[in-house]
């Protein structure tokens, strides 16, 4: 499969600025959590990423901890095989947990030494000289925040990273990091990667509300389908080919079949039916209607799912204020 020499933007795709930065990311993007390695080999991952690219996606998300580093390695090999120009795509990864077991300073930390070593491993596996975005995958209560901010800013100075941010940090932690950077004239955190979907709204809509205006925070939201709940396919239980059926993911199966979530799904399906789309497409389009969402990270275990997910671009215009009000009523019930 040959990729085009240069990226061709999709006229249906919106390319939003990442917070107050000048960087533009496709409003729908593609990530590798859970699926790469556990469900997707190189060939399947290539087909998924190519389909996303063809739909106008320019942002691809990963993390050091996904599949113990193999997710980054797969993505790196795929991008090399596709021959994409480095200037045409935005690439991210996340660091915190590490992949070296209990080696001191190499996991569950954001200290300077770990960040110095981990970025080198990430770049090696991804086969790039730099990542566009680097996220602190969780906050580290055992390392002085000032040390982490200095170290992340240094990675930007060294050209290893273009923008840095956080994932699942509290609003207070993000603001504290920003103020440290501002006080010392360092590179500030630009973006946060929180969970956000119809069933998980409080952090993005309430807790971070002041950060968008005060700090210009961008968001690259994950789990827009609530790990698959908002596809509606779990109303009759967990299929054998689902990621929730994988060993070690029993916690996910419990979340997917939670009674309250299932009741909400049943009430949302008729609205999607009236729009002529799937519940998943409506749920993805709904996330994009939040102006503080820079990009919605989608995932898939097969190429056909990528194609179906990106059809959400056609649904976005259908979510009129009246439809959004109906959905809001369901979500509040």
List active site positions: 66
| Cβ-based neighbours of 161, under 8 Å, separated by 6 or more | 119, 130, 131, 132, 133, 134, 152, 155
The single-letter DSSP state of residue 262 is H
Measure CA 102 to chain center: 27
Q: Helix or strand or coil: residue 204?
A: helix
What is the Cα–Cα distance from 20 to 171, expressed in whole angstroms? 17
Measure CA 206 to chain center: 20
What is the Cα–Cα distance from 32 to 71, expressed in whole angstroms? 7
The residues pairing with 195 across neighbouring beta strands, listed in sequence order, are 222
The single-letter DSSP state of residue 318 is G
CA distances from 299 to 84, 171, 307 (A): 20, 26, 11
Phi, psi values for residue 26, rounded to 5°: -65, 140
The single-letter DSSP state of residue 206 is I
CA angle 258, 263, 264 (to 5 degrees): 100
**In terms of DSSP H, where are the helices of 158-245?**
171-183, 202, 209-215
Q: Helix or strand or coil: residue 22?
A: coil
The residues pairing with 86 across neighbouring beta strands, listed in sequence order, are none
Q: What tokens does 155 get?
A: 């990675």
- Per-residue burial over 233-263, b = 16 or more CB atoms within 10 Å of its CB, e = otherwise: bbeeebeeebbbeeeebeebbebbbeeebee
């Amino acid at each position: 499969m040959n990729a085009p020499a240069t990226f061709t933007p999709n006229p249906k795709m919106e390319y939003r600025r990442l917070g107050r930065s000048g960087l533009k990311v496709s409003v729908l993007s593609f990530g590798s959590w859970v699926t790469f390695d556990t469900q997707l080999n190189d060939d399947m991952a290539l087909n998924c990423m190519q389909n996303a690219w063809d739909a106008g996606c320019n942002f691809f998300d990963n993390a050091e901890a996904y599949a113990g580093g193999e997710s980054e390695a797969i993505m790196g090999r795929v991008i090399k095989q596709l021959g994409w120009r480095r200037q045409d795509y935005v690439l991210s990864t996340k660091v915190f947990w590490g992949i070296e077991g209990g080696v001191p300073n190499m996991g569950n930390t954001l200290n300077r030494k770990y960040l110095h070593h981990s970025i080198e491993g990430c770049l090696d596996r991804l086969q790039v000289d730099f990542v566009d975005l680097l996220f602190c995958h969780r906050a580290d209560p055992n390392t002085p925040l000032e040390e982490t901010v200095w170290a992340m800013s240094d990675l930007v100075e060294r050209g290893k990273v273009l923008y840095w941010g956080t994932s699942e940090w509290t609003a207070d932690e993000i603001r504290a990091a920003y103020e440290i950077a501002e006080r010392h004239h360092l590179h500030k955190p630009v973006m946060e990667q929180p969970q956000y979907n119809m069933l998980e709204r409080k952090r993005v809509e309430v807790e971070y509300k002041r950060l968008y205006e005060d700090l210009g925070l961008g968001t690259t939201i994950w789990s827009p389908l609530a790990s698959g709940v908002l596809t509606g396919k779990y109303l009759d239980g967990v299929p054998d080919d689902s990621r929730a059926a994988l060993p070690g993911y029993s916690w996910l199966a419990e979340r997917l079949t939670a009674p309250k979530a299932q009741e909400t799904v049943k009430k949302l399906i008729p609205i999607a039916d009236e729009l002529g789309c799937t519940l998943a497409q409506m749920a993805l389009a709904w996330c994009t209607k939040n102006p503080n969402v820079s990009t919605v990270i989608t995932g898939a275990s097969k190429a056909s799912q990528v194609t179906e997910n990106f059809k959400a671009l056609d649904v976005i215009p259908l979510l009129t204020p009246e439809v959004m009000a109906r959905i809001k009523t369901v979500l509040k019930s």
